Amino acid sequence: MKKNKFYCHKNLIYFIIPILSVVIGLIGELVYNFPIQKQRDYEYIPIENIEMDNFDLVNGSEFVSYGGNATLTVSFEKKYIDKFRFHFEYDTTKAMGCDLIVHSYPDGEHAVNEVIRDSNNWVLNNSIVNIRMVADAITISMPADSSDVKISLIAIDNTGNYSIARIAFVSMVSFFALCVCIVIKRRIYIKIETIFVVMSCVIGVFTFAVMPAHKVGFDEEIHFGRAYFFAETIANEERIEYPFGIQELITTSLSNWPYHLAASEEEIKEENEYRNFQGDYLDERDDVIRVENSNYALGLHTYTYVFQWFMIKIGMLLRLPFVIVYKMGRLANLILYTILIYLAIHHMKKGKRIMFVLALMPTSMMSAVTYSYDGWVNGFAFLGCAYLLEEWFGDNEKISFRNYMVSVIALIFSCLPKAIYCPLLLLTVFFPASKFKNRKSMYILKGISIVSFVLMAGTFMMPALSNPVQMGGDSRGGDTSVARQLEYIFKYPLHYAKLLLTSIKDTLISYAIGIEGLGRMGHLEVTAREALTAMGVGYVVLTDSYNTQSPKIKLWQRSAIIVVCFGIICLIWTALYLSFTPVGLNQINGVQGRYYLPVTIWVLWALRTDKFKNHMSNEADNVVLVMINLLILLPVLYNNIVINAF
């Protein structure tokens, strides 16, 4: 009985921390809205307090500009401004964007001009922008290339702003801060894979919940369409019919433009109302506009969307609003990614810390909370890496057939949408003969890997090599042609080799351990610090001898890993040169740092060393790892997503 009481008392803290975190979030919200500076009013600006330049006043209350540079300067008594609002009517073929120049007083006395970019999504007619400054004037500045615009109902909104998103963010930060304090105080040891699950779920759920229900990640419109019509694609239906709201989200349209993000919680609500109306999938309204189009092509990549489609269908069966249905597809990606990385870290005995840090980087998490098959690719690539490395350098004298096959199958799955990573299967060829039970088993297992490599390589190499004329390239890249580009490479091999190696060299740090490879979150503004991401990765690589001896990796083994990974990187650049770069261009277009993640983990693992001894306790080491990822990830989320959701 005493033991049970002690157990309950010891684990009570795990229930108290979430509750206390929410309480802190609520208190923070009350403090934010405490009426010390705020006037608690909603004030329409009188016409006489508005100065016009290249605007005309019509109907006694509307300001009209017929394009070009134009400004409206709103003057008022110096006071705290929470939100600035105005109604606008704009050219329906464009999206309305302007700058808000706030004449503010950051120190209470000296005035400065703060510029806030107001990029309104096409679906909006009301601009509601967070100001949160003491000011006495705000200028609406239209750019030189602006179209006709009509602005009216200009107002200052200080009526209070209780935001669920802000409460959630403060609660999340408080939760992690309390957990770190409790771990340090009580010296509690938690397995690193468990920590990953908690961080991935808490941060991931918050992120996709506050992100807008439109394109944010790279090519998200393509991935959403493939996920939404997964069943129809599998059934090989030639034509598909759907609401107009789906059409807007499966194309790069003005309403789906990733750089036009909501500037306040009110704008998010207005956009969500539009999405729910236009994306109504229940067919219960007669005024729903429907579109018919050709279906998506069936390919190996199609099967990677099964979980996203499944969650979308659950949302539909529950008759949830379309915005929730859209976000459930993103949730499916997060769940799959979290499970795969948990299994990978759990299985590894050495190198866990490297995988933990990489898996929680902004780029990795972005692929997990948006429509994409990158979460699938990274998750299965990391899982295959974990099982393969453990068999290669683990404590087992002989290879486990089950673990070996798990690694091969995981790597095959990771190659389904991007077969370019198939050379990772060749790493099994470098297993020493002593790791196999006998020569027969060695030939069988290595044969399985080689055959798998050949089959996966054939899915993308054979069409290009056997009939390059039919491979027209990606139209988004401009004047592209696989056939003519191959001809150019064969005609000038030394020139292309120099171009390839130079391109890799110039981007290696940024793409492998820097901003482009680890700190970029889709189309969102880059706010991560390259030095911080590089230092975080460098720290775990140099100190990974913690608690266990680093495996004795021979030079030829390190070389094998690096050579194979370098070969994959060359394939990545070459594939984009063939399909996405105009013929003969003296640069390679389309390569992104996120493509490096499935191979970066291998190279970093191969660079592990036991020359630096990590003597920290289990608890302290985990705290350092958690802080590395929180200091990199949370500011990026706040500056790019969270601040616009308040």
- Among candidates 564, 571, 552, which has minimal Cα distance to 610? 552
Tokens 């289990």 correspond to what residue? 618
pLDDT in tens, 24-79: 999 988 887 775 455 567 889 999 999 999 999 998 889 999 888 999 999 999 98
Of 544, 513, 543, 540, the residue nearest 357 (C-alpha): 540
Neighbours of 436 (CB within 10 A): 19
Q: What is the pLDDT of residue 518?
A: 92
**Distant-in-sequence contacts of 564-570, Cβ < 8 A, 24+ apart:** 564/423, 564/424, 564/426, 564/427, 564/602, 565/599, 565/602, 565/603, 567/423, 568/420, 568/421, 568/423, 568/424, 568/598, 568/599, 569/504, 569/596, 569/599, 570/500, 570/504
Helix axes 192-210, 352-359, angle to 10 degrees: 10
Question: Which of 102-111, 333-342, 417-426, 470-479 shows the lowest mean pLDDT across its residues?
Answer: 470-479
Helix axis angle, 530-542 relative to 618-640, nearest 10°?
160
Tell me, letter by letter, the H, E, C secondary structure of 475-540.
HHHCCCCHHHHHHHHHHCHHHHHHHHHHHHHHHHHHHHHCHHHHHCCCCCCCCCCHHHHHHHHHHH
The pLDDT of residue 142 is above 70: yes
How many angstroms from the chain centroid is the CA of residue 77?
42
**Is the pLDDT assigned to residue 447 strictly greater than 80?**
yes
- How is residue 623 written in tokens? 């705290």
Token couple for 499: 């171009």
* H helix runs in 190-321, sequence order: 192-210, 220-228, 230-234, 244-249, 265-278, 306-317
HEC profile for 290-331? EEEEECCCCCHHHHHHHHHHHHHHHHHHCCCCHHHHHHHHHH
Task: Return the percent helix, strand and coil in the chain, to nearest 5.
Answer: 55, 15, 30
By the 10 Å C-beta count (0-12 exposed, 13-18 middle, 19+ buried), 168 is classed as buried
Maximum alpha-carbon separation in the chain: 92
Locate all alpha helices (DSSP H) within 348-438, ordered by sequence: 352-359, 362-368, 374-393, 401-415
Note whether 407 and 414 are within 8 A (CB): no
Lowest mean pLDDT among 124-133, 321-330, 562-571: 124-133
Distance CA 92, CA 55 (A): 19
Which of residues 528 and 442 earns the better pLDDT score?
Answer: 442
Contact 478, 582 (CB under 8 A): yes
C-alpha 209: how far from its chain's center? 13
Q: What are the CA-CA distances from residue 486 to residues 105, 161, 398, 461 (Å)?
A: 60, 59, 44, 12
For residue 309, which of 283, 336, 288 has the smallest C-alpha distance? Answer: 336
pLDDT in tens, 588-625: 998 999 999 999 999 998 888 777 777 788 888 889 99
Closest CA to 427 of 401, 402, 397, 407: 407
For the chain, give the mean pLDDT.
87
For 469-522, what is each residue's pLDDT tens digit? 455 555 565 667 777 888 888 888 899 999 999 999 999 999 999 988 998 888
- pLDDT computed for residue 465 by the predictor: 55
The pLDDT of residue 8 is: 47
pLDDT of residue 7: 45
DSSP letter for 33, please.
T
Rounded Cα distance between 448 and 492, Å, is 37
Give the DSSP letter of residue 260: -
What single-letter amino acid sits at 412?
I
In the numeric block, which tokens belong to residue 87?
């109604």
The residue assigned the tokens 């400054």 is 133
| pLDDT, position 526 | 75
Separation in Å, CA 282 to CA 106, 248, 250, 330 = 50, 18, 19, 21
Q: What is the pLDDT of residues 575-585, one digit of tens each?
A: 888 888 888 78
**pLDDT confidence of 467, banded at 50, 70, 90?**
low
Spatial neighbors of 646 by CB under 8 A, at least 6 apart, are: 130, 161, 163, 165, 166, 264, 265
H helices of 33-109, in order, are none
Contact 168, 206 (CB under 8 A): yes
Q: What pLDDT does residue 525 have?
A: 79
Q: Which of 80-94, 98-112, 267-281, 539-553 has the lowest mean pLDDT?
A: 539-553
In angstroms, the CA 413 to CA 433 distance is 27
Q: Is the pLDDT of residue 230 over 90?
A: yes
Structure tokens at 185: 């105080």
> CA-CA distance, 635 to 117, in Å (whole number)?
19
Give the pTM: 0.91
